[in-house]
Amino acid sequence: MPDQKSGKETAKLHKAYQATNTDELAEAYDDWADEYEDHMKSIGYTHPAMVTSLAAQHIPADATPILDAGCGTGIMSEIMQALGHGHIVGLDASPGMLKIAGEKAHYEALHHMYLGEKLDFETDTFEGVVSSGVFTQGHAPLDGLDELIRVTKPGGRIAFSVARTYLEGLFDPKRKALEDAGLWRYVDETGIYNSAPLGDHLPSRVYCFEVV
Ligand SMILES: C[S@@+](CC[C@H](N)C(=O)[O-])C[C@H]1O[C@@H](n2cnc3c(N)ncnc32)[C@H](O)[C@@H]1O
């Protein structure tokens, strides 16, 4: 039987996945921020390890700057800096999550921005983008990829996880539309993995595309 604490945290997770707009989502993450990392550890959260594994094969450590899109509390930055990335910029919809990311001090800058809206970065700013646990149901819309492409320099790679309804079919037409428009080209993908092996069954995959 789940203990009371993990039951409460699971409810917060579900609240985040059931959000119907960005305000609800940011509120759910603000409410969850202090317990987020403990909860993710308890479910054996694997997105950051999987995204950074594929990114390490396709985004050189000297690519700079790197954008962590939907950085949350900054788990990705701990791995990225250990892999040699020195200039990491984060963005997220939740001020509460950003506050904790700021305490890690691995980010050169953190921004409160929404994927799915116009990002306040110049075109061709980043040499690479990573995104873990963000392109999934109730989170960033797939159209958020358009802006990630715009702010990435030609030749830069975007490595991101895809899960739930996106992986079950919604991502394929979006990916093809971006390929057909000549905006990105396919580089690589991981196999299917469970992003919460100790807590749930959440089939996921990481993709890497190169901006044209
Ligand atoms: C499951 S957490 C992942 C956080 C971090 N990348 C990690 O792997 O620990 C999802 C994060 O995406 C952020 N997020 C969801 N939708 C977003 C959007 N449209 N724009 C920006 N951030 C968003 C949430 O605020 C939350 O911090």
Per-domain residue ranges for the chain?
Answer: 4-42, 47-211
User: Ligand 1: distance of its center to the CA of 92 in Å?
Assistant: 6
User: Ligand 1: distance of its center to the CA of 71 in Å?
Assistant: 6
Question: pLDDT by residue for the chain (212 residues), tens digit each?
Answer: 344 445 666 677 777 777 888 889 999 999 999 999 999 999 999 999 999 999 999 999 999 999 999 999 999 999 999 999 999 999 999 999 999 999 998 999 999 999 999 999 999 999 999 999 999 988 999 999 999 999 999 999 999 999 999 999 999 999 999 999 999 999 999 999 999 999 989 999 999 999 99
User: Ligand 1: distance of its center to the CA of 1 in Å?
Assistant: 29
CA atoms of 72 and 70, how far apart (whole Å): 6
Is the Cβ–Cβ distance between 210 and 171 less than 8 Å? no
> The tokens 């997220």 sit on which residue?
92
So what's the pLDDT on residue 200? 87
User: Ligand 1: distance of its center to the CA of 84 in Å?
Assistant: 23
Is the Cβ–Cβ distance between 91 and 70 less than 8 Å? yes
Is the Cβ–Cβ distance between 60 and 67 less than 8 Å? no
Say yes or no: CB of residue 22 within 6 Å of ligand 1: yes
Nearest protein CA to atom 26 of ligand 1, as residue:
72
Contacts of 209 (CB under 8 A, 6+ apart): 157, 158, 175, 178, 184, 185, 186, 187
> The tokens 């999987």 sit on which residue?
50
Q: Which of 139, 145, 161 to probe ligand 1 with, by most ligand atoms within 8 A of CB? A: 139
**Superfamily per CATH, domain 47-211:** Vaccinia Virus protein VP39 (3.40.50.150)
Q: Which of 92, 107, 147, 148 to probe ligand 1 with, by most ligand atoms within 8 A of CB? A: 92
Contacts of 173 (CB under 8 A, 6+ apart): none
Is the Cβ–Cβ distance between 103 and 132 less than 8 Å? no
User: Ligand 1: distance of its center to the CA of 93 in Å?
Assistant: 7
